[in-house]
Amino acid sequence: MVKKPPSASKSNAKPPSRRAATATASAKSPKPASAADETGPEQPLSPEGLRAHQTLLNIFNDAFAPALHLKSFTQRLQDVKQALYNRDFGAAFGREDFLEVYAARWSPTRALCYAHVLRGIEGHLAALLVSHDGQRASGNGDAADGVGLTRECPGQIPDAEEIPDDGAEKPALRVLAIGGGAAETVAFGSYLSSLPTTTGEIHLLDTGPWGGIAQRLSAHLTTAPPISKYASAAAKAANAALVSPEDRLRVAFSQEDILALDDAALARLLGPEPLLVTLLFTLNELYTGAGIAATTSFLRRLSAAVPAGSLLLVIDSPGSYSEAAVGRGGDREKKRYPMQWLLDHTLLQEPRSGRKRQRQRQEGVPAANDNDDGDADEKADGGTDDKADADAARTDCAVWEKLESADSVWFRLADGLRYPIRLEDMRYQMHLYRACPQIDNRT
């Protein structure tokens, strides 16, 4: 579960598009769509929105300036690309300098995109804004194209210092970013900047060692950027951190495999209060890397542990770049399932009995306890796995409702943005779900 560019989602995937370009790319940022495909006219960014996007690019530039200006940057970038192509994630993410190269190259566009998506769903995120006394808070800010989320739950994020109590009851947002890294950190900070009276905490969880990178970016989000000593008094007065004061933003990181966590550990991560859970360019890697069975099992455990009212945001590559194969033989013999179909099939289905599960297996639908070759685990006597059937029929899981969905959306960099190296536009699919009360609590 590592952060990879879309081109690395499959070993035979196409390289990133070369048409787009630099950070001065020619297209405008589209609004997240709920239709199957984003085909409407593009709307230009406002001057405020353009400044907000440039601010985020400046944060990446300042945080990774030493790496970006090294003569060896291009060679290191090629080394990272080759490691990703070979699916050698230990090599790609096992070194600090490679992490810096990855974050400097691919995370800026993703951070802008994630911030854009979060701002587009702020109406749903507002429901997670709750003050410490449990009262709902309004939390809409005026920052252009900002982004953020979360809700405070003291003690649920390890290694993060407690937010000092200044006597004021500030609403809070809380997020668990599964597979999260540099892009999620900056996007969250951007959204939080649009909510000046809100505190936020983001817990990143990934198998790669992203903790140092995330803390470095957090420092740049909460510290005024460097400014020339010759700058005017007005420029110095206007020079401020994106998120201020710095104790409004808490960032924590755990180097863990989400699939390896037991139910108790997952419940501790989620906490007792509603939060936003994100799987940003991560879910398809779980399906293709760990398999459909393990990933489906994780999603069901998530459904069993997540507090009612929580949101799940999934962003990934669109179309054939996000498919998982089931069956024996070569690629042509295997049956391919779109990630979105697998996700909806797991989250939106009512818990099913063993009989329903058997019928679905006969129809070729993969179940949580199915092996990746399409065969179900069976006992030696040829019977079905009773424990798996019981798990499939459990009734203590949250019921998810889909709030928004887009099969294919372009995020294009606006004219006038500046960055030291070439950046590219990106295309993505997006799905937003809300956890309804658990079945055994419904009347």
Q: What is the pLDDT of residues 382-436, one digit of tens each?
A: 333 434 443 444 446 789 999 999 999 999 999 999 999 999 999 999 999 999 9
Asked, for residue 362, whether it belongs to a domain, the answer is: no
For residue 201, the tally of other CB atoms under 10 A from its CB is: 27
Domains identified in the chain, total number = 1
Asked, for residue 321, whether it belongs to a domain, the answer is: yes
3-state secondary structure 389-417: HHHHCCCCCEEEEEEEEEEEEEECCCCCC
More confident residue, 6 or 248: 248
Region 134-146 average pLDDT: 44
Asked, for residue 1, whether it belongs to a domain, the answer is: no
Asked, for residue 299, whether it belongs to a domain, the answer is: yes
Is the pLDDT at 348 greater than 50, yes or no?
yes
DSSP string, 40-63: SPP-PPPHHHHHHHHHHHHHHHHH
- Can you tell me the distance from the alpha carbon of 351 to that of 369, in angstroms, rounded to the nearest whole number? 14
Average pLDDT, the chain: 77
Asked, for residue 319, whether it belongs to a domain, the answer is: yes
Q: What is the pLDDT of residues 259-304, one digit of tens each?
A: 999 999 999 999 999 999 999 999 999 998 899 999 999 999 999 9
Is the pLDDT at 151 greater than 80, yes or no?
no
Q: Which domain holds residue 332?
A: 22-351+394-441
Each as own residue / partner, the long-range contacts of residues 25-28 (CB below 8 Å, 24 or more positions apart, any chain) are 25/412, 25/413, 25/414, 25/415, 25/417, 25/423, 25/424, 25/425, 26/412, 26/415, 27/410, 27/412, 27/413, 27/414, 27/425, 28/412, 28/414, 28/415
* Residues 243 and 189 sit within 8 Å (Cβ to Cβ): yes
Asked, for residue 373, whether it belongs to a domain, the answer is: no
Asked, for residue 159, whether it belongs to a domain, the answer is: yes
Percent residues over pLDDT 90 in the chain:
55
Asked, for residue 4, whether it belongs to a domain, the answer is: no
* Residues 253 and 204 sit within 8 Å (Cβ to Cβ): yes
More confident residue, 361 or 226: 226
* Residues 209 and 168 sit within 8 Å (Cβ to Cβ): no
Indicate the range of 28-32, 124-128, 208-212 predicted with least confidence.
28-32
- Can you tell me the distance from the alpha carbon of 107 to that of 112, in angstroms, rounded to the nearest whole number? 9
Region 334-355 average pLDDT: 78
- Here the CATH number for the domain that contains residue 80 is 3.40.50.150
